[in-house]
Amino acid sequence: MKSITINGSKRESVGKVATKALRNAGEVPCVLYGGEAPVHFAADERAFTKLVYTPNAHTVVIDLGDNVTFNAILQDIQFHPVSDKILHIDFYQLFDDKEVSMNIPVVIKGSAPGVLNSGGVLSRNKRKLKVRALPANLPDIIEADISELELGDKLYVTELADEKFKFLHPDNTVVCQVRTSRVSLQIEDEVEGAEEGAEGVEVADGAEGSTEESTSSEK
């Protein structure tokens, strides 16, 4: 998996006053968990742009200077409710022999016959899937091949299985499916309505003929 380096510095003080001062200076207070003890540090807010504002998944190299580095993944992030500025970030330290869980983006591959030939619409139920694996086996993306999906077909998470990682979803989780479009459903309803109307006209014509026969016989 691709990695992004975040250059930061250790925080000596973690109180509210110090945290507010960091934010006023354009820095984000962070905590790294998973090791022997939490590591408090701060980094420039701009350093997180490629990590936070992207659909892609990345691991992180936290560089605190003096040859102190940690491999990690983003665990949690807090935004300001009004300005959407980053308020705080939690990271989780990676170890080569310890599995971790991470959300990986799903990338669609191919074209579905049910869309191309039958007028269906591709519905994406899962744009990310949570996997568990050793850090070295974390994929950058998960490819979902839809080249065999006909109208009404579904692609389940079990069909994307890989021995390098494990999906943390039930086996019946639908990743994507080809549905009948609303336009097609509307056309079908209109056709059925027209057919029912035509049947009604035939019945009315028959009834009118019977009335005329009855009138003639009375005369």
The domains of the chain, with CATH numbers, are 3-94 (2.40.240.10), 101-180 (2.170.120.20)
For 104-158, the pLDDT digits (tens) are: 999 999 999 999 999 899 999 999 999 999 999 999 999 999 999 999 999 999 9
Tokens of residue 12, six digits: 């000596």
Is the pTM for the entire model greater than 0.85?
Answer: no
Reading across the β-sheet that carries 166-167, which strands appear in turn?
142-145, 100-109, 128-133, 166-167
Q: Is the pLDDT of residue 208 over 70?
A: no
- 72 near 92, Cβ under 8 Å? yes
Q: Is the pLDDT of residue 215 over 50?
A: no
Band the pLDDT of 212: cuts 50, 70, 90.
very low
Q: Are strands 39-44 and 27-33 parallel, antiparallel or unpaired?
A: antiparallel
CA distance between the termini of the chain: 95
Q: Which residue has the tokens 């016989």?
A: 217
